[in-house]
Amino acid sequence: MKTILGFFCFSFSIIFCQSANFSYEEIAEQNIRGHAEKVATSSSLWLSGHINILRLNKYKLYLKYGQSLFLKEINGLNWVLPSFQFGLKPTDNLMVSGKFFGVHLDEESPQIIGAGLHYISGEDQDWVVSFQKSALNGINDFRVVSTLFHIDKRLQKSFYDIFLGFGINYYISNSYFSSIELPKKIEGDLNCISIAIIIPYKTFNVSASSQISSKNQLFQLALVKGF
């Protein structure tokens, strides 16, 4: 009971520990399109996070709570944003995931919704092929929809696992902001490589991961709890 209570206290604290500004209001007219593209690719990278689980974990339900840091500044800020996901494993080779949460910022309260399928294969269940679709809603100036195809290879070590992956992220950003320099729709592809280290600790998995693209780099610390 104490472990579960501590887990939810940790996740609750993440809600109020973030730094980001999605607004276009303070951006000069001549820079608005470049800024919108940077925000769209960074948002898509944030939405592309997924759950990595160890081979020996036989739980049917997983909850993941984490904190993500963008290494490149966006509008003068290194964005820090939470990540909440769950996964259901109806079989040993298939996991269905979802993300439904909101973030409280000074001016806005974005909501994230998404779902995915993850197929686990290989003789030692060391390959994972994932498909996810997620949306960032509740922003005044735009909405982003992200579709991710991702493949992971697990390397099992003595007391931890390493996941190496590659993903292709297709995103569409629909703008609500009035500007002659800004199209109503921005879309593109974002390729990224990923690395994650998962360490079991008592009833948790502690995860440190990074997603790297040509546009930005994201680093995340997270806890995964199985039930």
CATH number at residue 28: 2.40.160.20
- Cα 62 off chain centre by: 15
The pTM of the full predicted model, rounded to 2 decimals, is 0.88
Q: Report pLDDT for 194.
A: 96
Whose CA is closest to 99, among 75, 80, 122, 82? 82
Q: Given its phi and psi angles, is residue 223 left (phi above 0), alpha (psi -120 to 50 degrees) or beta?
A: beta
- Mean per-residue pLDDT over the chain, rounded: 89
Q: Report pLDDT for 75.
A: 80
**70: domain range?**
2-226
Cβ pair 158, 193 in contact under 8 A: no
Cβ pair 95, 51 in contact under 8 A: yes
For 146-164, give one letter per residue: b (16+ CB within 10 A) or e. bbbebebebeeeeeebebe
Q: How many domains does the chain have?
A: 1
Q: State the Cα–Cα distance between residues 21 and 49, nearest whole angstrom.
A: 20
Q: Report pLDDT for 218.
A: 95
Residues 6+ apart with CB under 8 A from 45: 70, 169, 190, 192, 211, 213, 215, 216, 218
Q: Which residues of the chain have pLDDT under 70?
A: 1-17, 55-57
Q: Report pLDDT for 56.
A: 57
Q: Report pLDDT for 210.
A: 96
Whose CA is closest to 142, among 15, 40, 72? 40
pLDDT digits (tens, 9 = 90+) for 164-216: 999 999 999 999 999 999 999 999 999 999 999 999 888 789 999 999 999 99
Q: Report pLDDT for 55.
A: 65
Q: Which residue has the tokens 């696992």?
A: 161
